[in-house]
Chains A and B, each alone.
Chain A
Amino acid sequence: MATTQDGMADPQPSFHYGEVPKEVAGREVKKEACPRAKKLLQDYYDAKVSLDTTFPYWYTRTWKEQEGQHPLVRRGLALKSAFSHLEPCIRPGELLVMQRNKYVRGASIVPWTANRFPLSDEERAKSDALKASNMELEKVTILAKGGGVVSESTKDVLSISGRFGQRMDEYPALLELCRYWNNKSAEDTCHLWGTLHPEYSTLVNMKKAVLMASDMEYGNRHGRSVTNYQYPMQMGFKGMIDWCNKQINDHLHTGKVDKIAFWKSCIYAIEGVQIWIRKYAAKAEQLAAKEKDPQQKKEFEEIAERMTWIAENKPRNFMDAIQLHWTCQLQVYNEMQGSGFSPGRLGQVLYPFWKKDIDEGRITPEQTLEVLECMRVKYTELEIATCVGTQGILAGNTFNNICLGGLKPDGTSAENELEYLFIEAAMKCATVSPTLSLIYDGKLSDKFLLKAIECNKTGSGYPAWVNNRVAIEYCLKKHQAENITVEDARAWSIGGCLEIQPGAVVNGEIGAGSYSSSGINFINVPKILELVLWDGECPRTDVRVFPPHGSKLETFEELFGIFKQYFAKVTRIFQETYNFKTAATFELDQPILFSALSADCIEKGADIDHEGSRYNRCFTTWITGQVNAVNSLASIKTNVYDKKRFTLDQLKDALFNNFGYRSAVDTGNYSMAEQVKSKSKEEIDEAWARIRSNAYCVQSRAHIIRDLQRAEDWDKIHALCLRAPKFGNDDPFVDAIYKEMAESWRDAVEQTLDPFGRPWCPSMLSVGTHGPLGQADIASADGRLAGVTLADGGQSPYPGTDVNGPYAVLNSATIIDHSDYKNTQLNMKMHPSAIKGFEGSRKMLDLIKAYMDKGGYHIQFNVVDSRMLKDAQAHPENYRDLMVRVAGFTHYWCEIAKPIQDELVARTEYEEV
């Protein structure tokens, strides 16, 4: 009694206000967090995103005092001062302690990196006018307003960047800090350095036309990398300081002043962190002294003892180790403005400590789960303060990605019992961070893989599935010139969303030591096609980006040729200018603590901005909307050139007039299903009726008839555009265009060398950029209307255009060699009924394995009923904890901006009835 897809079109559930309706809430697997984590999670749900000025205040004050000091030492001292002034905050019930500052969802601005966004609009405008700013991007960025987001100012709290709450009484101090950094910050200096590039004015125009979503050359240049915990785990902070001191003594005769300064800087910064940890110990002791409840008192005492210990020493047990790792995470987030310093293979790093505790009876699996659940809440509380443009990209996520499975350096399966508990904790205490990724390898056990599937069935969106073979191939290929070992390649992990980062084996254990996936911009690929059609000009903003190409575009080959040239040129100019800009910041806000942790930096005496890491080929360029561009090219090839159904000029007229529809930006709906015509059917009928009754004078009659006929032409062109072949249907015609575009772009990226002299890396994943970039694009030849959100990810079909089922999608997606890219990405929406029961789990696993065997790098699932998402849009109050998978990360539905919500609803859902 199988029914075809059409039969599922119209079920109309009745929804009730106040609770999630039963017919959509049906989830096969649903678990509950432990009471302790539940309480902490409630604190989080109730907390607002808040800015604290302690860190930037003390940093800036010391920085000023130390003027004239070696820049590295000056930064080390400033960091020490800032860390040692942070106020400790311990909440009852916590097992792991420490947070970024005194607020639960606390963030701090980092004005030496980005100082302009907290200033008033007028003050920003003065400087922005002169540089390649992101004002245009910010104009089209729509932010989320739900959850803990502070989107409106009140009497006492100022909203900054539409997300962060700043106490009014501290705002003058914040302004003063930001103004001090005028012309000194990375944000300001990188623009000055950027002008060294002869084509800098083109970059300015590229940004005005929103050819890219990026302000990241300063604001988010670090991250998408993996934190290495092995040094503190193996020698403790004291051991690291001793090591630095030894390096100084051993190298005084070498004349390498910068190295000595780096080690000294590390020592200062670590000392700052030690003071901060000891303040937590002291606070816990105070709380214990006052505490009446014996259980809570005991816990405070344990915290005091543990913090005192880890301030100096290597961990003795699992609790020490997991606390130490969290301390390391926080110190990295506090020292830099960046996102995605992922914990990597954390379950494998912590395993030896845990195994010893389990074997010797110091901890039980239940106790472990409780700690892991609390850890999830901690990660979810992390916030990064950035400007509006960056938020549009990050969507408020911090991209802390834990990898499970994969192989050990010796090539055996790396799965362990602690990782099962990581998965279980993520099922019980479902929060957006850390997200989980499963490194699929044929050597993993089915038991482990099916456990991961069970987790997918909770609807949390994690784990994402990534392919070990593809990633190892990537590492061996792209880091070959750096003499990567097969052991380090096997120790790879995801940095950020999905970026492949080579591992670094440290004394036999899995660690990390690679440069940030710096570069992060997202090239707006459909916009490049707009430039080709409009002879170098952006039709939305009238900004001329390139001189006219002058071609009549008489053949498809000519058009595609210019498209590829433009794509390469945009890529080159972005990458070259980024090199200049980022170099401006190497002596200003380079990571000291992250470097001290990273494999080989202390050994080499260099921070990661000076090639201290073991692996350094990491400068990366991303693209967004390439599936829309490919579909548009396929439509133009079919309709204009092969079948000659309309001319290029007719197409341009239709695109420019949005096929007679109103813009999505006006209507506030961002998926194709909800677009409205600028003239209603009734209005058109009436116009024709009046023409028939000769209601107009001759002149206006002709005019009106012409307009009406033009609108009819647009309808026809639109229909033909919508029906042209689409990527994701296993159609060789359009898949070949995808392949050619992707490969020519890949080669273009690798033509430019990064500041270290290594080729840049191509990467495909959209994060949240398919929202704002879509808003900056006019209608496209694939039938997508103006302002509508672009396709997500790297290989996801455009929502609603994949009509041949999931197998066809997976086939199209593997048309390229995924191991050529630092990441690729495919999102799939799956109806819960399709994978129900044990057999359903096995079938889902079959599908994943088949995709991996075929060479796909990444796939992730939203196991959700679309009706639930629609209901959640209508009644967000019922869905505070609903999580969905966006494009490489899981996030709270209510903290996602509407353009992305609309795209999620529209994704094709795979269901079987």
Chain B
Amino acid sequence: MNLNLETEAIIFDIQGFSVHDGPGSRTLVFFKGCPLRCYWCCNPESWTTQPQLLYRRNKCVKCYRCVEHACAKGAISITNPGEYITINREICKECHDVSCAAECYHDALKQVGKKYTLDELMHKIERDRRFWSGRGGVTVGGGEMMTQYRFVANFLAACHESHIHTAVETTGYAPWANYELVLKNVDWAFVDLKHMNSDKHKEGTGVRNELILENIAQIAKMSLEGNLRFIVRMPVIPNFNADDENVLATAQYLKTIGVTEVNCLPFHRLGASKYEQLDRVYACEDMPSPPDSLLKHIQQLFESEGITCYRSSDTPF
């Protein structure tokens, strides 16, 4: 799908009444596309920029209508009669025409990711704003919203022009020049810090952490200058980053750059069904959520270093 990168974007969800992603009640816009591949990711449908096809087996009645009608390229077939359909994802990869989903009468095939123009998006936001009751606003998330930074920058500028409070959720993994463009119109930033050890970071997310750390330091500086409120988020992934050593290293780093707040988000498996819907294998299928005791322990570690730590959705905003 060809886009005018200034005024068009691929968005995979817009959620009103989002209550844990910034101050007040907010509308959360999910942008598609992400350079990271965190193995615990809960939004695997966000990885690629283009629209994709989800296959929801719990809705499929095996009518096989799609086999005949949906895909001219033959990506959908029956391997075993009486079983679920097979989707050749290699063919789909090259194809961004997701009109095939419309051929399914039972919504088992579903398009994820839809093109929005800036005007269309602003229209939705203007509708929602009265329900935030003064304290909320827009949160831009993803995926990694920076993959569509030109649109995002324009969108955030338009929000500010309309006096709308703005927040972003980002991995921190994008060139600083791009961030400068976006952050001009941001009131609140959440940046993930997933591991202090760059090798480990690459192992878990597919990328090294140097760029992320630099950007975090830059944003911290902006925050100290009073330009925005900055909250570092740490996903708590057992056997990856939840050990004392990493937590303390994180705390040390945050102290040196002047960050005082961190929000720990425990791993959850709510995204698991979406892996199946994308015909992907989820590495964390059987991984349990970290116990409260671990979160409390991490909170204590942070607080012993003088950093305020909020657990999960228990935040003061």
A837 at the interface (CB under 8 A from B): yes
Of residues 713 to 751 in A, which have CB atoms within 8 Å of B's CB atoms? 715-716, 718-719, 722, 730
Nearest-CB distance from A32 to chain B (Å)? 25
Nearest-CB distance from B269 to chain A (Å)? 9
Pick the interface stretch among B18-26, B202-210, B218-226: B18-26
Say whether B131 contacts A839, CB under 8 Å: no
Say whether B317 contacts A807, CB under 8 Å: no
The 8 Å CB contact of A807, one of B16, B43, B274, is B16
Could you tell me the distance between the alpha carbons of A5 and B42 in the complex, rounded to whole angstroms? 11
Say whether B130 contacts A854, CB under 8 Å: yes
| Contact partners of B58 in chain A: CB under 8 A | 9-10
A836 at the interface (CB under 8 A from B): yes
| Contact partners of B61 in chain A: CB under 8 A | 681
Say whether A806 contacts B130, CB under 8 Å: no
Could you tell me the distance between the alpha carbons of A807 and B18 in the complex, rounded to whole angstroms? 11
Say whether A846 contacts B128, CB under 8 Å: no
Could you tell me the distance between the alpha carbons of A1 and B19 in the complex, rounded to whole angstroms? 12
Say whether B270 contacts A8, CB under 8 Å: yes
B8 at the interface (CB under 8 A from A): no
Say whether B42 contacts A3, CB under 8 Å: yes
Binary contact track A804-834/B, C-beta < 8 Å → 1, others 0:
1111101100000000000000000000011
Nearest-CB distance from B159 to chain A (Å)? 16
Interface residues on B, range: 35 or more
B276 to A, closest residue via Cβ: A10
Say whether B42 contacts A805, CB under 8 Å: no
The 8 Å CB contact of B127, one of A11, A811, A847, A849, is A811
Say whether A2 contacts B28, CB under 8 Å: yes
A835 at the interface (CB under 8 A from B): yes
| Contact partners of B273 in chain A: CB under 8 A | 6-7, 9-10
Say whether B17 contacts A719, CB under 8 Å: no
Q: Contacts A9-B58, A715-B105, A836-B313 hold; do A851 and B131 have CB atoms under 8 A apart?
A: yes
Q: Contacts A10-B58, A847-B131 hold; do A839 and B63 have CB atoms under 8 A apart?
A: no
**Which of B19, B130, B133, B268 is most buried by chain A, counting CB atoms within 10 A of its CB?**
B19
Could you tell me the distance between the alpha carbons of A486 and B316 in the complex, rounded to whole angstroms? 42
B132 at the interface (CB under 8 A from A): yes
Say whether B271 contacts A2, CB under 8 Å: no
Say whether A2 contacts B169, CB under 8 Å: yes
Say whether A846 contacts B135, CB under 8 Å: yes
A910 at the interface (CB under 8 A from B): yes
Could you tell me the distance between the alpha carbons of A681 and B135 in the complex, rounded to whole angstroms? 52
Could you tell me the distance between the alpha carbons of A251 and B141 in the complex, rounded to whole angstroms? 78
Nearest-CB distance from A547 to chain B (Å)? 38
B141 to A, closest residue via Cβ: A2
Could you tell me the distance between the alpha carbons of A533 and B46 in the complex, rounded to whole angstroms? 46
B81 to A, closest residue via Cβ: A685
Q: Contacts A681-B61, A837-B314, A851-B131 hold; do A912 and B19 have CB atoms under 8 A apart?
A: yes
Nearest-CB distance from A10 to chain B (Å)? 5
Say whether A840 contacts B274, CB under 8 Å: no
Say whether B15 contacts A4, CB under 8 Å: yes
A697 at the interface (CB under 8 A from B): no
Nearest-CB distance from B83 to chain A (Å)? 13
Say whether A807 contacts B42, CB under 8 Å: no
| Contact partners of A716 in chain B: CB under 8 A | 105
Could you tell me the distance between the alpha carbons of A343 and B127 in the complex, rounded to whole angstroms? 38
Nearest-CB distance from A367 to chain B (Å)? 37
Say whether B12 contacts A4, CB under 8 Å: yes
The 8 Å CB contact of B17, one of A2, A834, A854, is A834
| Contact partners of A707 in chain B: CB under 8 A | none
Say whether B24 contacts A843, CB under 8 Å: yes
Could you tell me the distance between the alpha carbons of A1 and B289 in the complex, rounded to whole angstroms? 14
B170 at the interface (CB under 8 A from A): no
The 8 Å CB contact of A847, one of B45, B106, B133, B141, is B133
Could you tell me the distance between the alpha carbons of A842 and B132 in the complex, rounded to whole angstroms? 11
| Contact partners of A836 in chain B: CB under 8 A | 313
Nearest-CB distance from B184 to chain A (Å)? 24
Could you tell me the distance between the alpha carbons of A849 and B134 in the complex, rounded to whole angstroms? 11
B63 to A, closest residue via Cβ: A681
A698 at the interface (CB under 8 A from B): no
B137 at the interface (CB under 8 A from A): no
A603 at the interface (CB under 8 A from B): no
| Contact partners of A910 in chain B: CB under 8 A | 17
| Contact partners of A7 in chain B: CB under 8 A | 42-43, 270-274
Q: Contacts A716-B105, A850-B133 hold; do A912 and B42 have CB atoms under 8 A apart?
A: no
B30 at the interface (CB under 8 A from A): yes
Selected A-B contacts with CB under 8 Å, 12 pairs: A1-B235, A3-B271, A4-B274, A6-B45, A7-B43, A681-B61, A804-B14, A805-B15, A807-B127, A833-B313, A847-B25, A854-B130
10 more A-B contacts (CB under 8 A) besides A6-B45, A806-B16, A847-B131? A4-B43, A6-B56, A10-B273, A806-B17, A806-B131, A833-B313, A847-B17, A912-B17, A912-B18, A913-B270
**Which 3 pairs, one residue from A and one from B, show the smallest C-beta to C-beta distance?**
A719-B105, A846-B133, A807-B16
